[in-house]
Amino acid sequence: SQRVVIIGAGIVGTNLADELVSRGWNDITVVEQGPLHMPGGSTSHAPGLVFQTSPSKTMTHLARYTVEKLLSIEKDGHKCFNQVGGLEVATTPARLEDLKRKHGYASSWGIDARLVSAEECFRMYPHLNNEMVLGGLHIPSDGLALAARATQLLIERTSKAGVRYLGHTPVTGIERDGRRVTGVSIPSGTIAADIVVSCAGFWGVELGAMVGVDIPLLPLAHQYAKTTAVPGLVGRDINSLPNGMNAELPILRHQDKRLYYREHGGQYGIGYYGHRPMPVVASSLGLTPKEVDEQNMPSRLEFTTEDFDPAWKETQKLLPALQDTEIADGFNGVFSFTPDGGPLLGQPSHLDGFYVAEAVWVTHSAGVARALAQILTTGRSEIDVSECELSRFEEVQLNRDYVTETGQQNFVEIYDIIHPLQQRESPRNLRVSPFNARQRELGAIFFETGGWERPWWYEANKDLVKSLPPSWKPVDRDAWSAQLHSPISAAEAWKTRNAVAMFDMTAFHRFEVSGPGAVGLLQRLTTSDITTKPGTVTYTLLLNDHGNIRGDIFVLRLEDDVFQIGANTATDLAYLTREARVQEQKTPGQWIQVRDITGNTCCIGLWGPRARDVIAGISTVDVSNKGLPYFSLKNAILAGIPVTMIRKSYVGELGWEIQTTAENGQRLWDTIYQAGTLHGLIAAGRSAFNSMRLEKGYRTYGADMTTEHNPFEAGVSYAVDANKKDDFVGKAALQRLSSQVPSRRLRALTVDDGRSMILGKEPVFYNDKAAGYVTTAAFGYTIGKPIAYAWLPGGVSEGESVEIEYFGKRIKATVETESLYDPEMNRLSQ
């Protein structure tokens, strides 16, 4: 087995040691700067509330495994999880509605949950003020993790299995030989290792700095207080249970006021997110003292009473029994926040053997540890953890200013009702395409992704809505789905299908892969034969060894050994970079350069039946079907501007992605825009684009399909070349999978009433049983109905009826044959 050093003996580090041991690894050292019996990190004082359900399937499943595991760890008959259930109460109508949405998430991800009336909340939780509560959501399998106790039991059991624990031992450096980690430095010397995993919690930034890795987490203080004894709670049997198993009331959330509660024997514990964000720099906290106790640990800062005042007043309203109590003990406890609220899991691309598992809540701790142990031992995690990937951030998102601002926002918004399309107000305009000035003139409404500003629709197209033919008139929406939406998108889709529109495609990731080893690399990593002639475009998949999909990309062969890759995420770049390096080491001389060219290029998607007319007005380049067939590309000059024209389309219409370098961008935009006026050209945004994408059935990686799915289930086996001679990652697994009947499938659904909207992640019921979930959804303007893609059991056939639950309401839908629009591809291949 590999030699592993884990830095940090909190709930994450100890779980990781345990997960590795259970997979047969036996050379593991855990190094902890604090005393092992109470290391003094966030785990040492975590109240341990585990609310499993979230909008994220990944996070919910990481939590569900944590619950299962903590329930299985016991000593002397006492478990490490007190399954008291979780109750979230609504005190506003908006929250009451939102709990319905949350109930939907629970059904989607397989968590048993029940919406309960105000009376039932009160029965379950007699201390509640029944005049305030409107209703609740009860999740019986939620509860309290006894995190500190679990950590001790894990240390005990893994020590017996041979794991070495070094307490009072700070890691002061990370040793490396070139791009490979070789061990860690501690005050008494070094510990050699093949793999070093930083589970250092909110000290992650400092650990990352030791190897030049920016860790985008922000330590923030969060207030937690215990009351004096509550008359109605004292004197019960539960107080005799050891080690904090001292609660029988459900854990309680009052998210309208950013509060949560648990019972501590006769006392109440109160957690508060409503106070000002209080950032902390871990290195300023000093060394962990020799002796750590409940009151004295680096992660516990002094309580600032004035910040807690509103929480205390609100608490006494919600729980009147607390009016007879006082705050007995409070502290500002430190833990980590990230720019998108997710944990950090994985490795940086430039260094081998260094991994992190940080910004992880107790709630997800065992799940994250298992995922990483699976990655280390088998190369992949069974739960898709793409959204936790350390490498998911763009460069612009890694600087401290960005992390500090967004981390604080996530703290403030942690209990807010968040619309799936909600946009942050700041920081904005970090990355803008060269077309930005023109887009503003056209009244673009921008949405942000990866720091990029992307037009969602253009107010300049407003008047077109009035002239839409009756079958294209947008239907009225419910208030929730009408948010961050405009009927202008219908007009933009109409123009694309009937005339021509230009879309800003700049924010899509573009990488250049070049050099003598480039063919070998792409041949090894993709499911297609990319040894085609220069000028060819290939849609292909990146798989893992299990035949599951880790990405879908476009490979554009520009020259014999120069390729352009159209990819989805920064993680794809990290993967290609790493694999290129691994390959170069194996075949010296066959160098490969992988370069992100997204920012120094820009791209316009020009699509619609009149797209050729627009080009004819500015160039003599042959863009006939023969001159530039579907899935081919050529270099051309458009009105003096050098461009690459790539014949492909996400929206299912004739046209090209027209790419040039950034400095030519604005002129390219102006040229096409002016040439297009004669032909009814408009600028159109992502909202219309998404609708047309779904009509064509083009999948979005990360939402419609993930590493949990194989190409046959996801309906993308057409991107696998069954005759490819060369070996590629996942080939052997695919051959096995190809003979199996998929047990689930990604299906296209349309809504029967033609108007009820769905936004994504809703549960789908088949024969009245929760059977799957929606991935992405949009109104299909061309087909005149809402469309939802959904994972469903393999046996559900086309033409069958299902129901989608949206805010507690059942919406009837039908499983359709794909594609919903132009299945013969006539529009694309004319």
Q: Which is nearer to ligand FAD, 3 or 686 (CB)?
A: 3
* In the complex, minimum distance from the CB of residue 39 to ligand FAD, in angstroms, rounded to a whole number: 3
Instruction: For residues 338 and 414, give the distance between their C-alpha atoms in angstroms, rounded to a whole number.
Output: 12
Instruction: For the CB of residue 292, give the shortest distance to ligand FAD in the complex, in Å.
Output: 9
Establish if 333 lies at the interface with ligand FAD (CB under 6 A): yes
CB of 50 to ligand FAD, least distance (A): 6
Would you count residue 327 as binding ligand FAD (CB under 6 A)? Answer: no
CB 31 to ligand FAD: min, Å: 5
Helix, coil or strand: residue 382: coil
Please report whether residue 39 would count as binding ligand FAD according to CB under 6 A: yes
Query: Binding ligand FAD by CB under 6 A: which of 17, 230, 356, 362?
Result: 362
Residue with smaller CB distance to ligand FAD, 5 or 137: 5
CB of 10 or CB of 685, closer to ligand FAD: 10
Q: Binding to ligand FAD by residue 155, rule CB under 6 A?
A: no
Q: Does 222 bind ligand FAD (CB under 6 A)?
A: yes
Q: Which stretch binds ligand FAD (CB under 6 A): 359-367, 561-569, 631-639, 806-814?
A: 359-367
Measured between alpha carbons, how far is 786 from 690 in angstroms, rounded to an integer? 12
Residue count (the chain): 830
List the one residue from 4, 17, 21, 31 that touches ligand FAD (CB under 6 A).
31
- Asked whether position 13 contacts ligand FAD by CB under 6 A, the answer is yes
How far are the Cα atoms of 324, 387, 728 from residue 526, in angstroms, in the given order? 67, 22, 6
Nearest distance in Å: CB 214, ligand FAD: 17
Residues in a beta bridge with 744: 793
Count CB neighbours of 427 within 10 A: 16
Compute the distance between CA of residue 574 and CA of residue 568 in angstroms, rounded to an integer: 12
Backbone φ and ψ for 790, nearest 5 degrees, come out as: -150, 145
Contacts of 264 (CB under 8 A, 6+ apart): 226, 244, 246, 247
Interacting residue with ligand FAD among 20, 36, 46, 759 (CB under 6 A): 46
Q: How far apart are CA 695 and CA 778, in angstroms?
A: 9
Sheet of strand 189-192: strand arrangement: 173-177, 180-186, 189-192
Is the separation of the CB atoms in 644 and 635 below 8 Å?
yes
For strand 195-198 and strand 4-7, is the pairing parallel, antiparallel, or unpaired? parallel
* Residue 558 to residues 182, 208, 792, Cα–Cα distance (Å): 39, 37, 39
> Among candidates 642, 680, 683, which has minimal Cα distance to 663?
642
Near ligand FAD by CB under 6 A: residue from 35, 86, 136, 201: 201
252 is a site residue for ligand FAD (CB under 6 A): no
Cβ(268)–Cβ(226) below 8 Å: yes
42 binds ligand FAD (CB under 6 A): yes
Instruction: Assign 3-class secondary structure to 127-165.
Output: CCCCCCCCEEEEECCCEEECHHHHHHHHHHHHHHCCCEE
Binding to ligand FAD by residue 264, rule CB under 6 A?
Answer: no
Q: Are 113 and 106 in contact (CB under 8 A)?
A: yes
Residue 360 makes contact with ligand FAD by CB under 6 A: yes
DSSP string, 467-516: T--GGGSPPP--HHHHTT--THHHHHHHHHHHSEEEEE-TTSEEEEEEST
For 161-226, where are the alpha helices, taking DSSP H only?
A: 204-209
Candidate segments 16-24, 38-46, 93-101, 502-510, binder of ligand FAD by CB under 6 A: 38-46
The residue within the footprint of ligand FAD, chosen from 81, 261, 308, 335 (CB under 6 A), is 335
- Name the residue nearer to ligand FAD (CB basis): 271 or 742: 271
For the chain, the farthest-separated pair of C-alpha atoms sits apart, in whole angstroms, at 89
Establish whether 260 is a catalytic residue: yes
Chosen residue from 5, 12, 390, 675 binding ligand FAD by CB under 6 A: 12
* Among residues 143, 250, 265, 271, the one that binds ligand FAD under rule CB under 6 A: 271
Q: Smallest distance from the beta carbon of 308 to ligand FAD, in angstroms?
A: 12
User: Which of these is catalytic: 105, 125, 165, 260?
Assistant: 260
Residue 594 host element (H or E): strand 593-596
- Please pick, from the candidates 18, 25, 33, 35, the single residue that binds ligand FAD as defined by CB under 6 A: 33
**Residue span binding ligand FAD (CB under 6 A) among the ranges 40-48, 86-94, 272-280, 500-508:** 40-48
Q: Does 38 bind ligand FAD (CB under 6 A)?
A: no
Alpha carbon distances (Å) from 794 to 413, 702, 715: 39, 21, 12
Return the axis-axis angle of helices 365-378 and 57-72, rounded to nearest 10°.
100
Could you say which residues in the range 730-759 bind ligand FAD, by CB under 6 A?
none
Which of 3, 17, 48, 655 touches ligand FAD by CB under 6 A? 48
Q: Which residue among the candidates 18, 352, 552, 704 is catalytic per the annotation?
A: 552
Residues 6+ apart with CB under 8 A from 223: 271, 272, 275, 303, 304, 307, 308, 311, 330, 331, 332, 333
The question of whether 552 is a catalytic residue gets the answer yes
Peptide bond into 469 cis (omega under 30): no
153 in contact with ligand FAD (CB under 6 A):
no
Return the residue of 4, 29, 47, 730 that touches ligand FAD, per CB under 6 A.
47
DSSP 16: H
Give CA separation, 663 vs 601, 645, 788, in Å: 8, 17, 39
- Check residue 171 for interaction with ligand FAD (CB under 6 A): yes
- Binding window for ligand FAD (CB under 6 A); candidates: 35-43, 397-405, 643-651, 679-687: 35-43
361 forms part of the interface with ligand FAD (CB under 6 A): yes
Q: Does 143 contact ligand FAD by CB under 6 A?
A: no
148 binds ligand FAD (CB under 6 A): no
Residue 203 near ligand FAD by CB under 6 A: yes
Catalytic residue among 45, 127, 138, 222: 222
Interface region with ligand FAD, contact rule CB under 6 A, candidates 16-24, 155-163, 360-368, 672-680: 360-368
34 touches ligand FAD (CB under 6 A): yes
216 binds ligand FAD (CB under 6 A): no
DSSP 754: S
Least spacing, CB of residue 338 vs ligand FAD, in Å: 11
CB of 221 to ligand FAD, least distance (A): 7
Sign (positive or negative) of CA dihedral 49, 46, 14, 192: positive
Q: Which residues bind ligand FAD (CB under 6 A)?
A: 7-13, 31-34, 39-43, 46-50, 170-171, 199-201, 203, 207, 222, 224, 271, 288, 333-335, 360-363
Residues annotated as part of the active site: 222, 260, 552
